[in-house]
Amino acid sequence: MADRRLAGPVRIVGTGLLGTSIGLALTERGVDVSLADTSPSSVALAVDYGAGRRAAEGDNPELVIVCVPPDVTASVVASELAAFPEALVTDVASVKAGPLAELVAAGADVSRYIGSHPMAGRERSGAISARADIFLGRPWVIAGHDGISYRRAAAVEQLALDLGAIPIEMTVEEHDRNVALVSHVPQVVASLLATRLGSATDGAVSLAGQGLRDTTRIASSDPELWVQILSANSDAVVEVLHRYRADLDGVIAALEAPDARGSRRTIAEALAAGNTGVARIPGKHGQSARFSQLVVIVDDKPGELARLLTEIGEAGINMEDLRLEHSPGAQIGLAEISVVPEAEDRLAAELTARGWRISELSA
């Protein structure tokens, strides 16, 4: 049995991606997990994957975790508070102020409720996509409010720590403003950019590289779920989108008259501001350190990538990150290896000596 802080039992309501992933992780640690969902087949699938057992009469959970869509989060939380008067209830919805306000308005016992939000997920949904390690190293927001004490909410922090996440305390208002900027608006921007590809020619999309893939990756997310998320956090999202629109209008105006005085400066400053912003995104383990990249050409055949990683290890160099890009029409791939700057030259020399080709794309 793995070490754990949360004793259990735990009840999970909603057996989609997050609910099943939480169940898998807790079950691995020996916690008694019961599963409930309005869909019997969804529960059956989560049970088959090993995320827990079916909920039964007489269950007396220490913690209830509600993992349902945002538009029904408050009503399900209220039902769970009423059904299990000794349990702490949390939810993992990506919007926090709305559900709390609904619960208060309905007269629910919010002294046993605290919202939370693991900043983890995948483009694919459902129990079939669940993974026990999806929360490792990811922030898990615990959105406190005046109606509950920190001590009474401790089980949610224990949950996050047991799942390998990093608990972060915020108010519900802070959470919603922050996720609008770092999660909700990026979804809108990625989706609108990907929309332009719908009418693109085959010739155009054949030129797509890693930059386009990076900026549109999340555009494959579930539209129905995102309509709920964006609607529930509309005020904060609109505030960021207005600023984004102002920046975009400035660049458009400059590009419409690129030779006009100040146009090139406007474009340059917009791009430089992007450099400043991206430099603030935490790197590995939340560090602010920046890394150097070597792009290694890897033949597209079995075992080559494994050999590359093995030989980096044999050279005694720690790889901080890895990104792969396949070259369209060629039987090669490009492996972008991130290392600390002081190891860059040594890694290049080691790999060259072992016969690897270093691309001129390395930066």
Where residue 233 sits, what CATH number does that domain have? 1.10.3660.10
- Considering the domain architecture, whether residues 333 and 239 belong to the same structural domain is answered as no
Strand 292-299 to 357-358 pairing: antiparallel
| Host domain of residue 290 | 285-358
- Considering the domain architecture, whether residues 29 and 153 belong to the same structural domain is answered as yes
Q: What is the CATH number of the domain that holds 94?
A: 3.40.50.720
- Considering the domain architecture, whether residues 162 and 182 belong to the same structural domain is answered as no
- What torsion do the CA atoms of 104, 60, 14, 131 make, to the nearest 10 degrees? 120
Domain presence at residue 269: no
Beta bridge partners of 29: none
Q: How confident is residue 184, by pLDDT bands cut at 50, 70 and 90?
A: very high
Q: Is the pLDDT of residue 222 over 60?
A: yes
- Considering the domain architecture, whether residues 157 and 300 belong to the same structural domain is answered as no
More confident: 330 or 73: 73
Contact 344, 294 (CB under 8 A): yes
Domain presence at residue 100: yes
- Spell out a b/e string for 81-100, using b for 16 or more CB atoms within 10 Å of the CB, else e: beebeebbbbbbbbbbbbbb
pLDDT at 1: 47
Tell me the pTM.
0.78
Whether the ω angle into residue 139 lies within 30 degrees of 0, i.e. cis, is: no
- Considering the domain architecture, whether residues 139 and 189 belong to the same structural domain is answered as no
- Considering the domain architecture, whether residues 191 and 302 belong to the same structural domain is answered as no
- Considering the domain architecture, whether residues 190 and 114 belong to the same structural domain is answered as no
Measure CA of the first residue to CA of the last residue in the chain; give whole Å: 45
Final residue of a structural domain among 253, 273, 294: 253
- What torsion do the CA atoms of 352, 354, 359, 363 make, to the nearest 10 degrees? -60
- Considering the domain architecture, whether residues 333 and 247 belong to the same structural domain is answered as no
pLDDT at 135: 92
- Considering the domain architecture, whether residues 166 and 197 belong to the same structural domain is answered as no
Residues 87-107 pLDDT 10s: 999 999 999 999 999 999 999
- Considering the domain architecture, whether residues 114 and 164 belong to the same structural domain is answered as yes
pLDDT at 210: 80
- Considering the domain architecture, whether residues 145 and 26 belong to the same structural domain is answered as yes
- Considering the domain architecture, whether residues 160 and 39 belong to the same structural domain is answered as yes
Final residue of a structural domain among 234, 253, 272: 253
pLDDT at 296: 87
Domain presence at residue 258: no
Q: What are phi and psi of 46, to 5 degrees?
A: -65, -40
Q: How confident is residue 362, by pLDDT bands cut at 50, 70 and 90?
A: low
**What's the structural domain count of the chain?**
3
